[in-house]
Amino acid sequence: MEFIFYSTTLTIILSTVVLLFFTIFFINNRQSLRRSLPPNLLGSMGWPIIGETLDFISCGYTDHPQTFMEKRRLLYGKVFKSHLFGSPTIVSTDAKVSRIILQSDANSFVPSYPKSLTELMGEASILRINGSFHRKIHGLIGSFFKSPYLKACVTSNMRKLLLRSMAAWNEDRPIYIQDETKHIAFQVLAKALIGLDPGEEMDLLMVQFQEFIAGLMSLPINLPGTQLHKSLQAKKKMIKLVLRIIRDKRIDGVACSQHSKDVTDVLLNDQSAKLTDELISDNMIDLMIPGEDSVPILMTLAVKYLSDCPKALHQLKEENLKLKRRKEELGDPLCWDDYLSLPFTQSDKDMNSFNNIGFTPFGGGLRLCPGLDLARLEASIFLHHFVTEFRWVAEKDTIINFPTVRMKNRMPIWVKKEH
């Protein structure tokens, strides 16, 4: 039996999709639970075999993907039973229950994903492993992501790529924010993960990654011509590239170095027999997903909602302009902690949805996204330079919620350089 949880707040579409489609928890002793649901739990099992899956998916294609949950919450209460993706399921729309699940230990709830995802990620993915081994890898990666060294490197790299991209923006054509942010964020993350710089190998990696990620929510059929087969072949090509980088690092003595420049270095320096080259390369590919999806969408949605709310845009712009002028007067460059010091940009105090118990787009507990701080940093850098250097008019666009959040027309805007 599956146990999925959902937050009913209408402003958290991103977390809705992440939680509904990628954070599905299977309770231990799954076979016995398949035979019987808790007797007092209300809900509907839907049609034979398919259950309520079609209704669940169809709501995902609408402007209100939360409709599936809200309708059943009103009928059955905040926690109800259903049958989704082939399994009896307990669904929680109660933020407190969801938090308990996220904060529980690895023995109570074990993560699982759609079959196409599990085939593409592999058995050794950080998203699938559990227990002490998961805590070890999660801890190594999380500590490095929080380090001032990496934040400084990400800031420098992000700013360089962003300013280079913005320099090519013209006033006589639309700029597609979703495409621009994906291109930048992927390169930033690839540099942080495997130390790869822009160039021919980066371009190859980006092309193969597009093919790989297209299969994450595909039919679980691995036959020539299917999307899953194409995605698996793309991952093999990416792993080959990453393995070559790992071998070069070993030859250069990175495994014996005390200073790690990227996540691959961190894992190589651990000297654990379990951390094989194949495991490291597999996880580097999986960890690139945020660079392609969640971080760029965070930036893209920020532009959309700022375009829709002039008051918020004005406050954000004034705060960032004040920082820019102060640093220029001092003759100092902007540092990573400058970008994270702005209260309105970071939405501190009671405005912080990140402190909202019902808002969990970065997961929680043992499954808290290790790149949370880097995501905030990248978004802050992007917004700072975007709002202080440009004025823009956004074309009408709509949000698509399934299988992942994205803009239907890639968020086109017309920009004008600030003088």
Q: Looking at residue 104, what is its pLDDT?
A: 80
- Choose among 179, 186, 1, 162: nearest CA to 92: 1
Give 1's DSSP letter: -
CB 145 within 8 A of CB 336: no
Q: What is the pLDDT of residues 25-72, one digit of tens each?
A: 333 334 444 445 677 899 999 998 889 988 998 998 888 899 999 999
Grade residue 194 by pLDDT with cuts at 50, 70 and 90.
Answer: very high
Query: pLDDT category, 388, cuts 50, 70, 90?
Result: very high
What is each CA distance from 5 to 100, 352, 363, in whole angstroms? 11, 21, 11
For the chain, what are the domain ranges? 2-112, 131-143+168-288, 294-417
- What CA–CA distance (Å, rounded) separates 98 from 12? 15
Section 230-253 average pLDDT = 94
Q: Are 322 and 342 in contact (CB under 8 A)?
A: no
Whole-number pLDDT of residue 3? 52
pLDDT of residue 290: 78
Which tokens in the block code for residue 53?
């899956």
In the DSSP assignment, the letter for residue 256 is: G
Q: How far apart are CA 410 and CA 209, in angstroms?
A: 19
Helix (H) / strand (E) containing 326: helix 310-330
Supply the mean pLDDT for the chain: 85
Q: Is 90 exceeded by the pLDDT of residue 121?
A: no
Three-state secondary structure readout of 331-368: CCCCCHHHHCCCHHHHCCHHHCHHHCCCCCCCCCHHHC
Dihedral sign of CA atoms 36, 40, 43, 47 in order: positive
Q: Which two tokens stand for residue 281?
A: 């390369």
DSSP category for residue 395: P
